[in-house]
Amino acid sequence: MTTSIKLRILPLIVSAALGAAAFAAQAQPLEPVLAQAKQHKAPLLETLKELCNIESGSRDLEGLDKVANLIAGRLKALGGEVQLVDVSNDIYRMQDTPEKVGRVVRATFKGRGTKNIMMLAHMDTVYLKGMLEKQPFRVEGDKAYGLAIADDKQGIATIIHTVAMLKELKFDDYGTLTVLINADEEISSPGSRKLIAKLGAEHDVTMSFEASRSNSDKLSLATAGIGSVTLDVQGRASHAGSAPEKGVNALYEMAHQVTQMSKFSNAETGVKMNWTLAKAGTNRNVIPDQAQAEADVRVLRAADYDNIERQVQERSAQKLLPESKVTAVFERRRPPLEASAASRALASHAQAVYREIGRELVVDPVAEGGGTDAAFAAQGNSKAVVERFGLQGFGAHTKDAEYILVDSIEPRLYLAARMVMDVAAGKVK
């Protein structure tokens, strides 16, 4: 090789070496943050034990108050300006909405920067009072079990300890760091949805802390919108043995309606509509004069609600029994979370952060069927909203098999803290 060729190639070699070195440096974990994540592993488990040992079903106002006070106290001790917000006076009414819902815990941390970040989780559960004894908190190997530990007590604990880590690291380069823990997520957030949407529009980034799957270390860019159909049929009662022809059988009409609306699901668009509940009649020997059925609806795009609602209303007018009265009520319970450019950028940055500790993070752009409050935070704006910043978990809504992976605590705490730091520093583009 001639000297001139060597001189031309040398800068390329040096540049490549510097680039590799820079990449290696970038891929190294921030040791103080990693050390804090390790230190908070055992305390986070203790926090989970406290949270799981308080029953807080969506309609258990006493239990919700207990857990809200616990959360508020922890966030106040970390320096937050804490409010317990009563959202019952501005409720979005659905057929199963209670008169009153639990209070929202809102904690505000003021920093020296300009970026506003919200961390979101919920304290309410699907469990009925008295079920705690069936699923006490316990740790078995790499699994910690508990009532609602995955959905969503882990999200609360992860947020509390992320804030604690930032405080111990003396990091406050954000503008406003908001923690919002609501108490009505499992009943479609009728009271808290407006507050979540308002704050989502006011923050640059929303990190929602529903659990990741135990078999997939991931974040989600999309969640399903949730709707429902309630079908009420009125007929006319009559003796089933001596004069059935004088009756109008509401059960027959309901069965007809359910059957003709059984194929509204569409695999191409991701729309799912499934009939899940039905009831009719009062006695075996009476032609039933009333019947009711309910369907669960899932959509991936807000626009899909219009089409399926139109189909339901049009088809319900096509009756089997002309003398029956059929009413179909369509409810839009929760909007879908649709992936935005800002959300994709945030999730991509999270993948780079996770590689600092030698882990790969899956970013899922397709909704799995579940709905979350992250969708309210993204409603009407194009801000970055990403779901599943919580721990890896499994068995949500099960009576005795709900758990989180203990080994996911350190990496997820590292990820959450580092993301707050990088967003605050303007590193997420």
pLDDT in tens, 103-144: 999 999 999 999 999 999 999 999 999 999 888 999 999 999
- pTM, two decimals, is 0.89
| Segment 340-349 mean pLDDT | 98
Catalytic residue, chosen from 55, 184, 185, 253, is 185
CATH superfamily of 31-223+337-424: Zn peptidases (3.40.630.10)
Bridge partners (DSSP) listed for residue 334: 226
For residues 411 and 428, what is the distance between their CA atoms, to the nearest angstrom?
A: 20
Fold of the CATH domain 225-334: Alpha-Beta Plaits (3.30.70)
Known active-site residue 304: no
Tokens matching residue 419: 């993301």
Other residues' Cβ atoms within 10 Å of the Cβ of residue 420: 24
User: What is the structure's pLDDT at 215?
Assistant: 84
Bridge partners (DSSP) listed for residue 327: 232
For residues 248 and 268, what is the distance between their CA atoms, to the nearest angstrom?
A: 39
| Segment 63-67 mean pLDDT | 98
Structure confidence at residue 20 as a pLDDT band (50, 70, 90): very low
Tokens matching residue 16: 């490549």
Catalytic residue, chosen from 55, 60, 124, 364, is 124
On the question of pLDDT at 23 being above 60, the answer is no
CB-side neighbour CA atoms (13 Å) of 248: 17
Bridge partners (DSSP) listed for residue 365: none
Say if residues 363 and 348 touch (Cβ distance below 8 Å): yes
3-state secondary structure of 137: coil
User: What is the structure's pLDDT at 133?
Assistant: 85
For residues 413 and 410, what is the distance between their CA atoms, to the nearest angstrom?
A: 5
Domain ranges of the chain: 31-223+337-424, 225-334
User: What is the structure's pLDDT at 216?
Assistant: 87
User: What is the structure's pLDDT at 27?
Assistant: 67
Model pLDDT for residues 326-344, shown as the tens digit of each residue = 999 999 999 999 999 999 9
User: What is the structure's pLDDT at 84?
Assistant: 98
On the question of pLDDT at 9 being above 90, the answer is no
User: What is the structure's pLDDT at 21?
Assistant: 38
Known active-site residue 364: no
Bridge partners (DSSP) listed for residue 182: 122
